[in-house]
Amino acid sequence: MTAGIIDGRAVSQDVRAEVAREITAWVAAGRPQPGLATVLVGEDPASAVYVANKRRACVAVGIADLHRHLPADATQEQVAQVIAELSDDPAVSGILLQLPVPEPLDGKALVNAIPPEKDVDGLTAYNAGLLATNAPGLRPCTPSGVIELLDRYGVELHGKEAVMVGRSHLVGRPTARILLARNATVTVAHRFTPDLARIASRADVLVTATGVPGLITPAHVKPGAVVIDVGITRTEHGLVGDVEFDAVKDVAGLITPVPGGVGPMTIAMLLRNTLLAAQLQQDR
C-alpha cells in the first residue's frame, strides 16, 4: 500500500482564500479592518524571514500590517511598553511576538503581557488554560493547522487512538489537548518514553513534533495509520521531518510530506486567528 499524500500547500491556500473572503465581507459590513502587529526584536535572520512571510500573508488577505521592530539591545521594559501600546490600540486585533527573543529578555513574561483576546499565537498561559479546560479561545497556530489538515481529509478522530510524539508548549501539548477535545484516546510520548515504537504503533493518528530526523520508521506505524509530521530540520539535503518518509509511506494510509505538509498551515491559521481575534474584540 502507498499512502495518500496530504497536500498542506493546497489546504493552506484554501484557508487563506476563505479568510480573505470573510475579511472582505467583514469590512463590507462596516466593521474595522483586522490588523496584526508582528513584533520582532533584534536581527536574527531566520526570525526576520518568518516575520516577513507573516506580514506578506496578512496583506494578501486584507489584514493591516502593523509591524514593530525593536533593536537587539531593547530592554524588557521597552518591549513590554510596545506590547502595552499595541494592547491599547483598537486598530490592532492581534499581537505576535516573534520567538525566541534575544538574551537576556524573558520571552515568556512578554508573551503573557499580551491580552488573551489579542494573543493570535495562542501561547499565553491564559489561552493555554482555556484550551486545557476545553473552553473557547485562540488556539496555537501549528496545532490548529494539524487539526485543519485532518478535518479537510476527513480523518475521524472521535473514539480513535491518537499518539502525540513531543510535548512542547508550542506544539505537542496543545495538539494533544485538541485531539482529546475531539474525543480521541490520546497518548503523549516524549524523549523519556521507552520503546516509542510500541506506543506509536498503537495510533490510528500519529502526530510527531520532535525535530529528530528519521525518528519515526515503519516499525512505529500501524498499517493504514494517518501520519502527521510537524518536525522541520534543516540538513545538507534540505528540510526534513521526523518521519522516514519514503519507507513509512508504504505502511501509512495518509501522510504529510516535509516540506509541503504542516509547514504552510501555520501562517494560514495565524490569519484565521487574527480574524477570529477581531471578531472576539467586536463582540465584547
Is residue 79 within 8 Å of residue 41, measured between CB atoms? Answer: yes
Q: By CB under 6 A, which span of 16-24, 50-58, 120-128, 231-239 interacts with ligand NAD? A: 231-239
The residues carrying an active-site annotation are 54, 98, 121
Q: Is the peptide bond before 100 cis (omega within 30 degrees of 0)?
A: yes
107 touches ligand NAD (CB under 6 A): no
Q: How far is the CB of 104 from ligand NAD (least distance, A)?
A: 20
Please report, as residue ranges, which positions from 180 to 219 form the binding site for ligand NAD (by CB under 6 A).
189-191, 193, 196, 209-212, 215
Question: Residue 281 is placed in which grid cell?
Answer: 474584540
Structural contact between residues 53 and 40, judged by C-beta atoms closer than 8 angstroms: no
Please give, one letter per residue, the 3-state secondary structure of 112-131.
Answer: CCCCHHHECCCCCHHHHHHH
Instruction: State in angstroms the smallest separation of the CB of 261 from ligand NAD.
Output: 8
Nearer to ligand NAD, 38 or 86 (CB): 38
Q: Which is nearer to ligand NAD, 38 or 210 (CB)?
A: 210
Name residue 165's beta-bridge partners. 189, 208
Site for ligand NAD in 135-164 (CB under 6 A): 142
> With contact defined as beta carbons under 8 Å apart, do 167 and 128 qualify?
no
Q: Is 98 in the site for ligand NAD (CB under 6 A)?
A: no
Q: Which of 94, 116, 137, 172 is the binder for ligand NAD (CB under 6 A)?
A: 172
List the one residue from 54, 118, 160, 167 that touches ligand NAD (CB under 6 A): 167
Binding mask 17-56 for ligand NAD (x = CB under 6 A): ----------------------------------------
Core vs surface per residue 29-50: b (16+ CB within 10 A) or e: eeeeebbbbbbbbbebeebeeb
Q: How far is CA 89 from CA 27, 29, 33, 66, 281, in A?
A: 18, 21, 13, 11, 12
Please select the residue that binds ligand NAD; options are 125, 219, 232, 280, rule is CB under 6 A: 232
User: Reduced to 3 states, what is the DSSP secondary structure of residue 7?
Assistant: coil
Q: CA–CA separation, 198 vs 164, rounded Å?
A: 13
Segment interacting with ligand NAD, rule: CB under 6 A, options 77-85, 127-135, 156-164, 258-266: 258-266
* Contact positions vs ligand NAD (CB under 6 A): 142, 165-168, 170-172, 189-191, 193, 196, 209-212, 215, 230-233, 262-263, 266
